[in-house]
Amino acid sequence: MTIANALSQLKAKSLGPGKHFDGQGLMLVKSKKEAGKWMLRLTIGGKRREMGLGRWPDVSILEARQRAAEARKAVRDGIDPIAERQVQRRKSKRLTVEEAIEQCFAARQAELKNDGQAGRWLSPLNVHVIPKIGKTAIEDVDQHVLKLALEPIWHEKADTARKAMNRMNLTLKHAAALGLDVDLQAVMKAQALLGKRRHVTKHIPSLPYREAPDFYRWLCGQDYTSALALRFLILTVARTSEVRFATMTEFEDDVWTLDPSRTKTATAHRVPLSAEAQRVVELCELAKGSALLFPSPRGKPMSDATMSRMMEREKMTARPHGFRATFRTWVEECTEAAYEVKETALGHQVGSDVERAYQRSDLLEKRRVLLEEWAAFLTQPT
């Protein structure tokens, strides 16, 4: 015979620590004489599960039996009451914008370079979104909330505003995947309210390629680490950060190898060194005992502004990164190099994922010829 209603309020008070059964799977689990919790044993999908029904004595015997009856009915109706309660708890907890952004970032870290530790993904949100609406529930975010948050920078900092909007769109999608009732069109509507951005793309100033040899000859007469670094940057057409953090261990014979963590595309990149670039490396090895190729006076990586300041002092408008454009223009005007060779020399990815899956050469030897021609152009006699 099935036991039911075996406990009474008075009996429950007198019981000591342990499990005490009321019947039909309901039991009072006491940690001490004065406190305990109600538990219900259920069979869900052929597996025995235990479901908490609240603390005793806050939840009375009568209320525990009522909750147990509702849970048993849910199981008979094909509903998992434990899973359903977890869903309701998630919905009842008001996830804030700041929390949603953190969760979205954590979910996307594997896609970001160095797991996003540089902070570029979060930066627009940390500066322009979280201080204004970070405590707002993500479910309360609509086009008006986003408009008020980003309106001050919509035209003045157009690129930052664009990034912030894109990341808020991803955050809303993440919240929707959690089962929250969010407006997935909020970003699109906010952009409609804010209108088109008044923004003119400004390219980094570059030196006309015909002037590059004169500038390179001038650099050769400068006895500064920054001058050596700038010479190496021009010869290899590498990015500024790649040059600043270059170490001796990355060089083997006449190839400079950058691992994925050092490149913008997060893929390994080999740079063939021309004879002139190798001479620059040799000068660095003679002058410095640091692991870095171009260390600062304190032995740390060179500042990202050091080479720019050097050019500014010469009243130049061009900047170090602009030499990549100088090279690309020279290649287009003065050589017959193939498109793939020109782009790969700059460390750009060429073709779709499928194309790259089959075309696995990095065109090293063809790029070696091209960079030797570039070095010869830079070092040509006056």
Over residues 320-340, mean pLDDT: 95
Q: Is 215 helix (H, G, I), strand (E, B) or coil?
A: helix
- Residue 43 exposed, middle or buried by CB count within 10 Å (0-12, 13-18, 19+): exposed
Q: Report the relative pairing of strands 255-258 and 18-23 from DSSP bridges.
A: unpaired
Mean pLDDT over residues 52-76, rounded? 90
**In the prediction, which pLDDT does 179 show?**
85
pTM of the predicted model as reported, rounded to 2 decimal places: 0.63
Burial of 271 (C-beta count, 10 Å sphere; 0-12/13-18/19+): buried
Res. 180 pLDDT band, cuts 50 70 90: confident
What three-state secondary structure class fits 243? helix
Mutual angle of helices 225-236 and 275-287, in 10-degree steps: 160
Is the pLDDT score of 297 beyond 90? Answer: no
Percent of the chain with pLDDT over 90: 58
Q: Residue 170: how many CB atoms within 10 A of its CB?
A: 16
C-alpha to C-alpha distances, 6 to 50, 209, 368, nearest whole angstrom: 19, 94, 88
The 10s digit of each residue's pLDDT in 228-264 is 999 999 999 999 999 999 999 999 999 999 998 888 8
User: What's the mean pLDDT in 72-98?
Assistant: 82
pLDDT category at 1 given cuts 50, 70, 90 is very low
5, 25, 53, 62, 369 from 2: Cα distances, Å: 10, 10, 21, 18, 89
Mean of pLDDT over the chain: 89
Element of type H or E holding 356: helix 353-358
CATH topology of domain 97-194: DNA polymerase; domain 1 (1.10.150)
pLDDT at 20 over 80: yes
Reported as a single tens digit per residue, the pLDDT across 268-280 is: 999 999 999 999 9
What angle, 0 to 180 degrees and rounded to 10, lies between the N-to-C axes of helices 158-177 and 186-194?
A: 160
Q: What value, to the nearest 5°, has the Cα angle with vertex 168 and ends 164 and 172?
A: 175
**Closest to 236 measured CA to CA, from 253, 254, 219:** 254
For residue 298, pLDDT beyond 70:
yes
Residue 287 has pLDDT above 60, yes or no: no
Cα–Cα dist 308/314, whole Å: 10
Rounded Cα–Cα distance for residues 194 and 186 (Å): 12
The C-alpha angle with vertex 146 and arms to 143 and 151, in degrees rounded to 5, equals 115
pLDDT average, residue stretch 25-34: 88
Q: Which of 91, 189, 188, 104 is nearest to 137 (CA)?
A: 91
Taking Cα atoms as reference points, which of 215, 212, 293 lies closest to residue 247?
Answer: 293
Domain 9-92 coded CATH 3.30.160.390: yes
The DSSP output letter for 78 is T
Indicate whether 222 pLDDT > 70. Answer: yes
Given a contact cutoff of 8 angstroms between Cβ atoms, the answer to whether 266 and 322 are in contact is no
Backbone angles phi and psi of 109, in degrees to 5: -55, -40
CA-based nearest residue to 219, from 379, 44, 5: 379
Distance of CA 27 to the CA centre of its chain: 49
Residues 6+ apart with CB under 8 A from 250: 256, 257, 258
Q: Above 90 in pLDDT, residue 286?
A: no
Distances (CA, A) of 226 to 182, 185, 244, 245: 52, 49, 10, 13
> Domain residue spans in the chain?
9-92, 97-194, 209-378
Overall average pLDDT of the 189-197 stretch: 91
Tokens of 247: 């170490």
- Please, which pLDDT band fits residue 200 given cuts at 50, 70 and 90? low
Q: How confident is the model at residue 318 (pLDDT cuts 50, 70, 90)?
A: very high
Gyration radius of the chain over CA positions: 33
Instruction: Report whether pLDDT(154) > 90.
Output: yes
pLDDT given for residue 92 in this prediction:
55
Q: Residue 90: what pLDDT?
A: 63
- pLDDT-derived band at 355 (thresholds 50, 70, 90) equals confident
Q: Which CATH number fits domain 209-378: 1.10.443.10, 3.40.50.80, 3.40.50.300, 3.20.20.70?
A: 1.10.443.10
User: Whole-angstrom Cα distance, residue 18 to residue 37?
Assistant: 11
